[in-house]
Amino acid sequence: MFRRFLLAAALTFAVASPAVAEPKNYTFDKAHTQILFFVNHMGFSNSNGKFLDFDGGITYDAANPAASSANITIKTDSLNMDMAKWDEHLKSADFFNTAKFPTMTFKSTKIEPVDASHAKMTGDLTLLGVTKPVTLDVTLNKCGPNLMSQKPQCGFDLAGTIKRSEWGMSGSIPAVGDDVKLMITVEAEEVVAAK
């Protein structure tokens, strides 16, 4: 009798318990994703630029954030400083050398949750043919349906600092700073399989 009770209780619990959320894949909503960088200019200002063309995605595991991952490929020729002459200089061999290195990539290797909405994400950044680890601070802004499209989305902010000279980009140091601050804001749409 007791065994039957345990079996019934186990079945009831299994039916009543919600299914464990599975990892979900997301693609970048490019219109609402910005990849920005800031670098000091002669101590007078912190100039900023951005990249306009990129691809990649995110796998987000809400139940186990440490199992999440991200990857992005950025087309270096899409660099934009809001001034054609400055764009040309930064695309030259002194900086991004876009003719020889048309892309830069980042692939996460580890995610360490800090609390419910913050984590540290470490990954391999490949720039100018050099691959080195980078750690970014990640904030989960929100997951839920887009108010306009009703499609499921997640939004994140990422921030970190690198020394460009470690990737061999030493042009104009120290007039143009070695430290580069990265600020990335992401809206990503869930990839929903066709029914």
Query: pTM of this prediction?
Result: 0.86
Domains and CATH numbers, the chain: 21-190 (2.40.128.110)
- Ranking 8-12, 36-40, 116-120, 127-131 by mean pLDDT, the lowest is 8-12
CA–CA separation, 170 and 174 (whole Å):
9
CA–CA separation, 76 and 91 (whole Å):
8
Q: Which tokens is 23 given?
A: 């990892």
Is pLDDT at 7 greater than 50 in this prediction?
no
CA–CA separation, 66 and 111 (whole Å):
5
CB atoms within 10 A of CB 51: 20
Is pLDDT at 126 greater than 70 in this prediction?
yes
Dihedral pair phi/psi, residue 172, rounded to 5°: 70, 10
**Residue at 53: amino acid letter:** D
Q: What is the mean pLDDT of residues 174-183?
A: 97
CA–CA separation, 122 and 37 (whole Å):
18
Burial of 115 (0-12, 13-18, 19+ CB in 10 A): exposed
Q: What is the mean pLDDT of residues 98-103?
A: 98
